[in-house]
Amino acid sequence: MSKEESYVMPSFPMLTATDVETSSRWYQDVLGFRNVFTMAMPGSKPVLAHLRWVKYADLLITASRAPEERPRGVGVNLYFQAGESGRTVDEIAATAKAKGATIVEGPTDKPWNTREVTLADPDGYRLTFTQVRNPGRNFEEVVGSAMKG
């Protein structure tokens, strides 16, 4: 168990995983999330993992009770600010790719003034890491550029 800061989380996603231990290890090894805590019943595999990207960017992974219920990851895309971790989108993409992660898209520049990379986790959930390209642009400039496409 790590010595992470304890605070009330303003919001957080909870993902259902086929294997909590495998998913938790993937998030830590491939993307650099930190383990806040993992819960397992005596003699069983983990049923919950609380991970942290950066302060207030926590993620909970829980075990599926009925894996055949529905496909995982469909329609779910989580966004994280790359700069909060001290790494760029390109650095995150290079590390993830080197560790065998599935890169869905990018890194690529977007018309809304960001550079993004989207990865798929072991259950098919999509994670997009984003960073501002030009922090000096105001809202009207960004919207105008995005509208031009």
CATH code at 49?
3.10.180.10
C-beta of residue 90 within 8 angstroms of C-beta of residue 97: no
Total domains, the chain: 1
Q: Is residue 20 part of a domain?
A: yes
What range defines the domain where residue 107 resides? Answer: 14-65+74-148
pLDDT recorded at residue 137 = 82
Q: How far is the C-alpha of 16 from the C-alpha of 116, rounded, in Å?
A: 25
Q: Is residue 1 part of a domain?
A: no
Give residue-wise pLDDT tens across range 64-89: 766 556 666 776 788 888 888 889 99
pLDDT recorded at residue 67 = 55
The answer to whether the pTM exceeds 0.85 is no
Per-residue pLDDT band for 1 (boundaries 50, 70, 90) equals very low
Q: Is residue 6 part of a domain?
A: no
Give residue-wise pLDDT tens across range 105-126: 999 998 888 999 999 999 889 9
Q: How far is the C-alpha of 51 from the C-alpha of 69, rounded, in Å?
A: 25
